A and B are shown apart, each in its own frame.
Chain A
Amino acid sequence: MIEIQHLHKSFGKFQALIDVNLLFEQSHCYALIGPNGSGKTTLIKSILRLVIPNSGVIVIDGKPCGSDPEFRRLIGYMPQNPRFPDSMTIGQIIAMMKDVRGDQQPDEELIKNYHIREMSNKKLGALSGGTKQKVNAALAFLFSPKILILDEPTAGLDPLAAEILKEKILLEKQKGKLILITSHILSDLDELASDLVYMQDGKVLLQQNTAILKMETGESSLTKAVASLMKNHDEPSLISNE
């Protein structure tokens, strides 16, 4: 579904991505982890072409993505720190997104579950971080995209809202969607992720099925599996970093 070949990106002298080669397939949920500054967000943004890579090819759904923006129709993106135009209301931004994407059959499940409709007259500038994140999530899932890219999806959400989101992610996965999540909360990923991609210093160190990983390390949870992996690799601890 998404194929990344020899992707390089540097910001000035800083090498953000070094020869990244990855393959993401449908019906899988990939957990993208790594310490701060390891290149996770840069990778995601490269896929969306918000960051223009220095070299390398990204093929989505069989088509190499370039300046033609149509490939983004396949993607629902939930950015890390959502900020919307302050003077717009929730209702307006949802209407605007529908307008921008064109008349697809919208999936309003999250809107319903988060009771967003009831708040549709509220100004986005006046919302709490959590509520904004709810709107953010609802927008990403609104057009039932084939690919979902979620950058820290549960950050700022209360446990109940986070649970609703996780259920939604699982549901979409079952529908055959490709899901790419970055998160620092590994316990969340435990329930969702089918595969794990570990990045550090711009390089992909590991891409592995989580079940196999747990088996190899002999740990029962993903958190512990990753921790033991770190130890074996003699790398600084991922968890203490956060």
Chain B
Amino acid sequence: MNKMLKYIIADILRTKVMIGYMVLLFVISFVVFASESNASKGVLTMMSIVLFMVPLVSVLFSAIYLYNSAEFIELMLSQPINRSQVWIGMYTGLGLSLIIAFCVGFGVPMLLFASNHGWVLFVSGIFLTACFSGIGLLASVKVRDKARGIGTVLMIWIFFAIIFDGMVLFLSFQLADYPLEKPMMIMSALNPVDLARIFVLLAMNISALLGYTGAVFNAYLGSGLGRLICATVLLGWCILPYWISLKWFKKKDL
């Protein structure tokens, strides 16, 4: 369908960063799973690492790759190819290669050690990869300068990984007199990292150990419908940044 796709994927998979990412993930997953006696504890440890590393690498790599291939995009756009084709090629190319790296780096140790618990984290990792590639695309199409673009992308990542949760905690203290479980649940949907985390916790039955809050969680999101909504919102997070970036890219002056 897209002639560019195979060239982009081949190009990305050859880069040292991508191979490094894959090897690093593999080594970390392998060591964590092998050293934890309990598979579900291993998955929990890996959850922290995956939720930290996957968004960072995805968003940063995507943005940098796009900045570096500005001329290549120009070359492509001076051919009889339309913009959405180029852009979807870029997104799927980046997303697929990052996902392939993730699948090999995390998926293989997961299958070896924690195949019963690990799959949810695996799926969440794939969602997060796609979502943050999209965010990388969004930043790079909006910010022209590479250095500023990388800065922006890092800020976005810090926001989702740390600041957002800090804000949630702050708010929960400010509004401690009100029943906050439901508003917080809705708020968490605004952050794909939180959503992915909750998705994993629910599937691992950890929520049962979290007391009242966990019980509310399980009641709302633990059901089949809840999980479906979770997955849908995550999917939305994968599509929305890309979709906006495509709109912008179609109007962008190169």
Are A and B in contact, CB atoms below 8 Å, in the complex? Answer: yes
For A, the interface residue count at a CB cutoff of 8 angstroms equals 32
CA distance A72 to B250 in the complex (A): 16
CA distance A100 to B86 in the complex (A): 11
Pick from B4, B72, B252 the residue with the most CB of A within 10 Å: B72
Nearest A residue (CB) for B4: A100
* Contact assessment for B75 and A87 in the assembled complex, using a CB-CB cutoff below 8 Å: no
B90 to chain A, nearest CB (A): 12
Task: List, in ascending order, chain B residues with CB within 8 A of A233's CB.
Answer: none
* Contact assessment for A82 and B71 in the assembled complex, using a CB-CB cutoff below 8 Å: yes
CA distance A71 to B81 in the complex (A): 10
CA distance A50 to B68 in the complex (A): 17
Q: Which one, A68, A79, A99, contacts B82 given CB within 8 A?
A: A68
Q: Which one, A48, A77, A87, contacts B15 given CB within 8 A?
A: A87
Q: A11-B253, A52-B253 are in contact. Are A84 and B80 (CB under 8 A)?
A: no
CA distance A87 to B252 in the complex (A): 26
Q: A88-B11, A100-B3 are in contact. Are A50 and B74 (CB under 8 A)?
A: yes
* Contact assessment for A52 and B251 in the assembled complex, using a CB-CB cutoff below 8 Å: yes
* Contact assessment for B79 and A100 in the assembled complex, using a CB-CB cutoff below 8 Å: yes
Nearest A residue (CB) for B252: A52
- Tell me whether chain B's interface is mostly helix, strand or loop, or mixed: helix
Q: A83-B72, A87-B11, A88-B11 are in contact. Are A50 and B82 (CB under 8 A)?
A: no
Q: A96-B7, A100-B3, A100-B4 are in contact. Are A77 and B80 (CB under 8 A)?
A: no
* Contact assessment for A72 and B71 in the assembled complex, using a CB-CB cutoff below 8 Å: no
Q: Which one, A45, A49, A75, A84, contacts B75 given CB within 8 A?
A: A84
Nearest B residue (CB) for A72: B80
Nearest B residue (CB) for A86: B68
Q: Mark A201-239, 1 if CB is under 8 A from B, else 0.
A: 000000000000000000000000000000000000000
A81 within 8 A of B: yes
Q: Mark A56-78, 1 if CB is under 8 A from B, else 0.
A: 00000000000111111101010
A101 within 8 A of B: yes
B38 within 8 A of A: no
Task: List, in ascending order, chain A residues with CB within 8 A of B68's CB.
Answer: 86
Task: List, in ascending order, chain A residues with CB within 8 A of B3's CB.
Answer: 99-100
Q: Which one, B71, B72, B80, contacts A81 given CB within 8 A?
A: B71
* Contact assessment for B82 and A85 in the assembled complex, using a CB-CB cutoff below 8 Å: no
Task: List, in ascending order, chain A residues with CB within 8 A of B74's CB.
Answer: 50, 79
Task: List, in ascending order, chain B residues with CB within 8 A of A100's CB.
Answer: 3-4, 76, 79, 81
Task: List, in ascending order, chain A residues with CB within 8 A of B48's CB.
Answer: none
* Contact assessment for B11 and A50 in the assembled complex, using a CB-CB cutoff below 8 Å: no
Task: List, in ascending order, chain A residues with CB within 8 A of B15's CB.
Answer: 87
* Contact assessment for B72 and A70 in the assembled complex, using a CB-CB cutoff below 8 Å: no
Task: List, in ascending order, chain A residues with CB within 8 A of B78's CB.
Answer: 48, 50, 72, 75, 77, 79
CA distance A82 to B70 in the complex (A): 10
A44 to chain B, nearest CB (A): 10
Task: List, in ascending order, chain B residues with CB within 8 A of A92's CB.
Answer: 7
The 9 closest A-B pairs by CB, nearest first: A83-B71, A77-B78, A69-B82, A51-B253, A73-B80, A50-B254, A87-B14, A72-B80, A85-B11
> With A71-B80, A72-B78 given, can you name 18 additional A-B contacts, CB distance below 8 Å?
A11-B253, A45-B253, A49-B77, A50-B77, A50-B254, A51-B253, A69-B77, A69-B79, A69-B81, A69-B82, A79-B71, A82-B71, A85-B11, A85-B69, A86-B68, A88-B11, A92-B7, A100-B81
B interface residues, Cβ below 8 angstroms from A: 3-4, 7, 11, 14-15, 68-72, 74-83, 250-254
Report 20 cross-chain contacts, Cβ distance below 8 Å, ordered by A residue: A48-B78, A50-B74, A50-B77, A50-B78, A50-B253, A51-B253, A51-B254, A52-B253, A67-B83, A69-B81, A72-B77, A72-B78, A73-B80, A75-B78, A84-B75, A85-B11, A85-B69, A87-B11, A100-B4, A100-B76
